[in-house]
Amino acid sequence: MASVIHFTIATVAEESPDFRRVLWTGKNTQLVVMTIPAGGEIGEEVHEDIDQILTFVSGVGEAKVGGATKKVAQGDLVVVPAGTKHNFLNTGPNPLVLYTVYGPPEHADGAVHHTKEEADEAEESGKDEPPTES
């Protein structure tokens, strides 16, 4: 029998100084917290077969999704359907903190990337691959 997996998600996200931290990985979804520093960004990308839902905990920024741009702040939620080009930028003086759900998982289970550069290197080297079923 599965136990209850519980997070006080806004608190967990606010307390994480890391660019990306995978909190939980299931068969079909993955929960990740992110902290984008002032002036930083996630980086333009497309997840061909992965839907993504991002919820913003604190800070201010811009969501660029499918050619449209929208301001985001605490309490906002943005959906990125699979195959859609997107980027999220921090436009404020404080960190832009969010949590995101990927379906299916996008990153290695338990991955922690302290900076965007570390995250990019892990992805490029193949060290940040989602789990596969055996």
Model confidence, pTM = 0.94
Mean pLDDT of 81-89: 98
Mean pLDDT of 55-74: 98
CATH, domain range 17-124: 2.60.120.10
Summarize pLDDT for 9-47 with one digit per residue, the tens: 999 999 999 999 999 999 999 999 999 999 999 999 999
Euclidean distance between CA atoms 99 and 66, whole angstroms: 20
Mean pLDDT of 111-118: 96
Assigned token pair, 54: 């991002």
R_g (Cα) of the chain, nearest Å = 14
Euclidean distance between CA atoms 106 and 35, whole angstroms: 17
For the chain, the 3-state helix, strand and coil shares in percent, each to the nearest 5, are 10, 40, 50
| Pair 47, 102: CB distance under 8 Å | yes
